[in-house]
Amino acid sequence: MSKNTYKKGILTFYFYPIAKGKRYVAACEELCLVREGKDPEYTKLSILADAKSYLNNVCENKLGEHLLNQSLPDEIKKEFNKYRKLEKNVQFEKWSESIKELTSNYAGAC
């Protein structure tokens, strides 16, 4: 796995339902961000907005690149895999986003 930098990298996102589909969890692996909500689309959009804000803050303030290379707690990854195996016909997602794409529309981008 290559390291993320201010200029480039890939972020991995997880999304899954909990509480019998009444709540949803979205998480970003490398930034160690987690968001929970009632609405699936809003929860996904919120984690992307959180990631973008986090990236912009790290870049703008020249914080360490190690902050772009974290790891979610194992319990989040285990929960994602557990629900994915248990529930059928339920929306589970794992996707990636480019750091460059997430920061490209920001005036203070790295």
24 within some domain: yes
Are 33 and 54 in contact by the 8 Å Cβ rule? The answer is yes
104 within some domain: no
CA 95 to chain centroid: 9
Work out how many domains the chain is built from and give that number: 1
pTM assigned to the model = 0.79
Query: Strands 33-37 and 10-18, how do they pair?
Result: unpaired
Q: The tokens of 33 are what?
A: 């961000």
Condensed to tens digits (0 to 9), the pLDDT of residues 8-42 reads 898 989 888 888 778 999 999 999 999 999 999 99
**Residue-by-residue DSSP string for 9-56:** -EEEEEEEEEGGGTEEEEEETTTTEEEEESSHHHHHHHHHHHHHHHHH
107 within some domain: no
Are 29 and 12 in contact by the 8 Å Cβ rule? The answer is yes
Checking if the pLDDT of 65 tops 50, the result is yes
Q: The tokens of 81 are what?
A: 């895999």
DSSP state, residue 4: P
Per the structure, the complete domain to which residue 84 belongs is given by 10-99
